[in-house]
Amino acid sequence: MNDLSRNYINGQWVDWNGDTLDVHEAGTGEVIARVPSSGREEMEQAIAAADRAFENWSESTLEQRIKVLEQLHAGLKERSGEIAETICREVGMPIKLATAIQAGMPATMTKSYLKLLQDFPFTEQYGNSEVQYAPVGVVGCITPWNYPLHQVILKIVPAIAAGCTIVLKPSEIAPQSAYILAEILDGTDLPKGVFNLVSGLGQTVGDTLIKHPDVRMVSFTGSTRTGNLIAHAAADDFKRIALEMGGKSASVVLPDADLGAAVKGTVNNCLLNSGQTCTALTRLLVPADQHDEACELAAAAVAKMTPGNPLEETTRLGPLASAQQRDRVFDYIRLGIEEGATLVAGGPEAPDGCDQGYFVKATVFGNVKPDSRIAQEEIFGPVLSIIPYSDEAEAIRIANGTEYGLSGAVWSADQDKAKKVASKLRTGQVTVNGGAFNPQAPFGGFGHSGIGREFGKWGLEEFLEVRSLQL
């Protein structure tokens, strides 16, 4: 078991002798690590350290910041195998995918910001005005368990690049990769106090972080419910906020699309990380006369998603990250049956041979009503709802008919037609005919899915204030 009874404050590890929080292995349920259940005092110490460090770091040169990020990138690459296995065990993503995504994406994103910084205009001239982009200040980062290092990197790398100082509260469900990150940063030229890590529960250390007057921005990824609380708390002190929250994304299959390719692409996306992905395409919208065929194709696709130990290379569907999340998904599957949807595949139980750990069968519902709870609420598990529609206008209404707007997809044999429909979806990003993910494009949502953007120059701008000098 990994004993991580310490916090990282002001450039040093601070031992913790109080209560701890258990970290469980998703595939077995066993305790694999313990982290501090820190209190307000520890968080206040970290905020004070970040506040003291801000003046000097905010005036650091671009070359200094780039050097630190280059060192970080090298450390992420060097420890990628350890990162992949750690997150595989905590979250349940199969090791093959965890290596490419959970360990690969943080290094990729760090490298993308290194490239972006070479030409980013921190000052611009507009007429007789010099426009300057200044760091926002101390940033509080609160991150989730589903992509525990990737979501941290999306915050701390642009924050460091902007000249901000940081206090991170990682998820207590999957915190170990944040400790690896702190170890890497401890070996770089980053000055003391620029990066701080405090582990604990949201109602104590998280609450202190979002309400502290010296914290000038809160960057949060997680549930819409928690994002709502953060937005209200930040409003009292006029803090900058960036919120990336839930989704209930629709995959719209137009009548002329290749139905097989569309269903396969949607199922693969929906089941990525066992459905523990905010952008998951969890609603498949198909023409009514293609509904039954789509259900058959979806059932065949999920049958190929081999469940099992996520540490094994052959596993395609791992467990969920916690017992609480597993039970929540089971409840939603039972609800779907009660609501009258057709259970096409799966059900509210673990797959055969997966009695240990937090496994859920890949589940497909057909004949789902657009206003049903399983079509409206984020389940965050391997559950796909297939919804029939009568015409294109109805498909767009259904796609836009939730409180969310994070992602989506459109499939058509006519690329221009697909783009036209995609432009009508009230969502932050749309995949057209399976277009590849682009880490340099903006990422974020409409409505209850969030405020602000991550990735690329848009992600950097979130951490900058704009000042103009009239000359």
Beta strand 138-142 pairing with 165-169: parallel
For residue 317, the 8-state DSSP code is B
Report helix, strand or coil for 221.
Answer: strand
Check: CB of residue 157 under 8 Å from CB of residue 109.
yes
Report helix, strand or coil for 33.
Answer: strand
Residue type for position 270 = C
For the chain, the first-to-last Cα distance in angstroms comes to 61
Residue-wise over 352-365: b if at least 16 C-beta within 10 A, else e? Answer: eebeebbbbbbbbb
Q: Give CA–CA dist 367/378, Å, rounded.
A: 18
Residue type for position 426 = R
Q: Give CA–CA dist 157/106, Å, rounded.
A: 10
For residue 312, the 8-state DSSP code is S
Q: Give CA–CA dist 244/303, Å, rounded.
A: 32
Q: How far is CA 325 from the centre of its chain?
A: 16
Residue with tokens 């899915």: 449
Residue type for position 345 = A
Q: Is 295 a catalytic residue?
A: no
Handedness of CA 425, 430, 384, 374 (dihedral sign): negative
Helices 80-91 + 104-117 axis angle, to 10: 130
Residue with tokens 């990162």: 83
Residue type for position 341 = A
Q: Which tokens belong to 275?
A: 């459905």
Q: Which tokens belong to 455?
A: 């990735």
Catalytic residue among 42, 90, 244, 462: 244
Q: Give CA–CA dist 188/223, Å, rounded.
A: 33
Residues 6 or more apart whose CB falls under 8 angstroms from that of 192 comprise 10, 11, 12, 49, 53
Q: Is 183 a catalytic residue?
A: no
Catalytic residue among 278, 354, 378, 462: 278
Q: Which tokens belong to 454?
A: 């991550």
Percent of residues in the chain assigned helix, strand, coil, to nearest 5: 40, 20, 35
Q: How far is CA 181 from the centre of its chain?
A: 17
Q: Give CA–CA dist 88/100, Å, rounded.
A: 11
Give me the active site residues, please. 244, 278
